[in-house]
Amino acid sequence: MAHKEIIVAFDLYGTLLSTESIVEQLAEYTGQEKAQSIAAAWRRYQLEYTWRLNSMDEWDNFFMVTRHALQEALDENKVMLGHEAIENLMAAYDSLSTFPDVIPALNKLDSKPKITPVVFSNGTTKMVTNSVLHSKDLSPKADVFRKIITVDHVRKYKPAPAVYEHLAEEMDKKSRMGDMWLVSGNPFDVVGALRSGMKAIWVDRAGRGWIDRVLPESQPTATVRSLEEIVDVIEGRAA
């Protein structure tokens, strides 16, 4: 692989796909108000479980993590759903909606041969492949991504260093971590990438500004409000 080639690794959940978009499917079973609360708790517990597993040096795949997180979110909101409803919601997780800026950004990347976009996710290979290749919103641009990289073989979750090292190995960049850019809407992911030697763009769609303080010296290489800005950021740094 030529050294001049730039790898851009896109986080999936919360960056390309909106985890809040599951509200629509939840509302069919719980009503709109409960759906909003459950969706927020579902995402919160999903992330919390991955961090707890990392801390305990334990492993469960992301499908099961997501399923268990859904059940805890339902319990917290005092909602009981049957097996069929749970299965339908889990299936719906493979068809989350993209954020509005995703497709225009991928169209822009499609004309940049020196930039290699990949998907880099905590999700299982099956979940991520389903989302990229078969979801209504993302599948039309699936061919923009040169590779799908997940944590299945690492058996660790972001922001564990082994996850970013796995990305580097997959992309033949182990000795050139600085050639890789992470693009993520999740601050913990941005910090993990930076600490591993990558560059990292934080997607701050809400415009709140960087507030993560777990490692105060770790600041995003760049912050954007829209994914459509990332090509200009990356090319500006490469110039």
- Look at residue 82 and tell me whether its pLDDT is greater than 70: yes
Predicted confidence (pLDDT) per residue in 35-51, tens digit: 999 999 999 999 999 99
Domain range list for the chain: 6-17+97-238, 19-95
CATH code, residues 6-17+97-238 = 3.40.50.1000
CATH of region 19-95, choose from 3.40.720.10, 1.10.150.240, 3.40.50.2020, 3.40.190.10: 1.10.150.240
Alpha-carbon gap, residue 239 to 67, rounded angstroms = 45
Q: Which pTM was predicted?
A: 0.95
Average pLDDT score over the chain: 95
Across 50-71, average pLDDT: 98
Contacts for 65 with CB less than 8 Å, ≥ 6 apart: 46, 49, 50, 53
Distances 156 to 7, 59, 133, 159, 214 between C-alpha atoms, Å: 22, 7, 24, 9, 20
Contacts 24+ apart (CB under 8 A), 16-21: 16/98, 16/99, 16/102, 16/119, 16/138, 17/96, 17/97, 17/98, 17/99, 17/131, 17/135, 17/137, 17/138, 18/96, 18/97, 18/98, 18/99, 19/43, 19/46, 19/96, 21/96, 21/97
31's tokens: 């009503």
Residue labelled with tokens 């896109």: 10
Instruction: Return the pLDDT at 237.
Output: 87
Between the alpha carbon of residue 70 and those of residues 33, 46, 77, 89, 127, the distances in Å are 16, 8, 11, 9, 16
Same fold, 6-17+97-238 and 19-95: no
Is the pLDDT at 206 greater than 70, yes or no? yes
Spacing of C-alpha 95 from chain mean position = 14
| Confidence (pLDDT) at 238 | 75
Instruction: Give the angle 10-63-213 at the CA atoms, nearest 5°.
Output: 50
Average pLDDT over residues 149-178: 97
Residue 1: band (very low, low, confident or very high) from pLDDT cuts 50, 70, 90: very low
Percent of the chain with pLDDT over 70: 98
Mean predicted confidence (pLDDT) in 156-166: 98
| pLDDT value at residue 40 | 97
Residue 230 has pLDDT above 50, yes or no: yes
pLDDT of residue 129: 97
- Give the confidence band of 3 by pLDDT, cuts at 50, 70, 90: very low
